[in-house]
Amino acid sequence: MSNKLIKFFTITGLTWFVPFVKLCSGENPAHQFRQILQMIGVPLLAFIVFLGLWSVTAARIHTSLGAIPGPSAVWHEAGTLLQDHYTEREKATRFYERQRLSNEQKRASNPDADTRVRSYTGKPTYFDQIFTSLYTVFVGFSIATIVAVPVGILCGMNPVVRTGLNPLIQIFKPVSPLAWLPIVTLVVSALYVSNDDSWFEKAFLTSAITVTLCSLWPTLINTTVGVSSIDSDLVNVGKVLKLNWGTQIRKIILPSALPYIFTGMRLSLGVGWMVLIAAEMLAQNPGLGKFVWDEFQNGSSNSLGRIMVAVFTIGIIGFILDRVMQSLQNAFSFGRQI
């Protein structure tokens, strides 16, 4: 039991809990306590030191929006953002209630009146913005993965394709998202005609495609490397058994290349998350990036605090995404280290 638990925690990256499990199963307590102190005590202490330094230095830097907010001010702003969220939700409830009443009135006077229920017209709250950003990054990242993995496999299996695509990959890989953005915006505006009933907003598509264009490359390159470095014995076995193409990919190539593919995806997601915030900021597309830019434009005395809240939110979400990908990577690498 305890071994299973330990394995689970190791794979999911929650190594903090391993010593606790060992403690419970009665392994050398002194050693485990030292482990706990090392794994939890040290990071905790470092974080406290960081908060202290931040408090002290922030108070001394005066900007035109007042002093840089310290930890307590930022915590307070996080509270007001939460409060705003509830206030807005309450307004939304009343909005739907009013709509229901007016629709009933309309139906009473005219049975075939237009009584669609309209979504709330107020502002998106901070949590809505977080959700929008997450949704956008996953759509962009999914498109990137769907494109990159097959192309990567093709590149890995076929040297001709690989040498053909190589220069293109090398040229496009280092391009900043902000350079893609105007092009993507214009193309989307030209090709995608949206109306009130369409599924996606133009702004959403623009952000998602920008994320795709930037997060494509790590997955593509890693997949190529993974596929091309498969043990030749395995490939030969496939040839001897006269496996057809599909079976080869399914049974031999994918399982061997999976660890590489997941490493690539992990890098891609990190890049995508970083790119998205910048894209939202520049294009004023809904999401956390827009929230930061709007607060900067507002220039009120609590703007800096709110921007700091957003910075921490972006960081923590980025960290969680990375952890999730790392666990997947661990789960699929069958104990091999890349």
Partner 1 sequence: MKQFKNHLSKRWLTVLTASLSLSVLTFSPVTQAVEGIEKEDLKFGFIKLTDMAPLAIAYEKGFFEEEGLFVQIEAQANWKVLLDRVINGELDGAHMLAGQPLGATIGFGTKAEVVTAFSMDLNGNAVTVSNEIWQQMKPHVPMTDGKPVHPIKADALKPVIDKYKAEGKAFNMGMVFPVSTHNYELRYWLAAGGIKPGFYAPPQDTNGQINADALLSVTPPPQMPSTLEAGTISGYCVGEPWNQQAVFKGIGVPVVTDYEIWKNNPEKVFGVSKTWADKYPNTHLAVVKALIRAAMWLDAENNKNRPEAVKILSDSKYVGADYSVIANSMTGTFEYEKGDKRSLPDFNVFFRYNATYPYYSDAIWYLTQMRRWGQINEYKSDDWYMEIAKQVYRPDIYMAAAKELIAEGKAKPGDFPSGSETGFKPPQTEFIDGIVYDGTKPNEYLTKFPIGLKAKQKVVDGKIVE
Structure tokens at 185: 């915006």
Region binding partner 1 by CB under 8 A among candidate stretches 27-35, 42-50, 114-122, 318-326:
114-122
Assess 142 for contact with partner 1 (CB under 8 A): no
Residue numbers 170-189 binding partner 1 by CB under 8 A: none
| Least spacing, CB of residue 56 vs partner 1, in Å | 24
Which residues have CB under 8 Å from 1's CB, separation 6+?
A: none
Q: Which of 2, 163, 176, 298 binds partner 1 (CB under 8 A)?
A: 298
Residues near partner 1 (CB under 8 A), total = 42
Element (H, E) at 279: helix 254-283
Assess 83 for contact with partner 1 (CB under 8 A): yes
Q: Which of 105, 166, 229, 236 binds partner 1 (CB under 8 A)?
A: 105
Q: Which of 159, 236, 300, 338 binds partner 1 (CB under 8 A)?
A: 300
Q: Report d(CA 260, CA 14) in Å as an integer.
A: 22
Q: Which of 2, 90, 173, 229 binds partner 1 (CB under 8 A)?
A: 90
Assess 17 for contact with partner 1 (CB under 8 A): no
Any idea what DSSP says for residue 197? T
By CB atoms closer than 10 A (0-12, 13-18, 19+), residue 50 is exposed
Q: Report d(CA 19, CA 29) in Å as an integer.
A: 9
User: Mind spelling out the 3-state secondary structure of 210-268?
Assistant: HHHHHHHHHHHHHHHHHHHCCCHHHHHHHHHCCCCHHHHHHHHHHHHHHHHHHHHHHHH
* Residue (294 or 322) nearer to partner 1, CB: 294
| Least spacing, CB of residue 88 vs partner 1, in Å | 9
Residues that bind partner 1 (CB under 8 A): 64-65, 83, 86-87, 89-94, 98, 101-102, 105-106, 114, 118-123, 127-128, 131, 196, 199-202, 204, 284, 294-295, 297-301, 303, 306
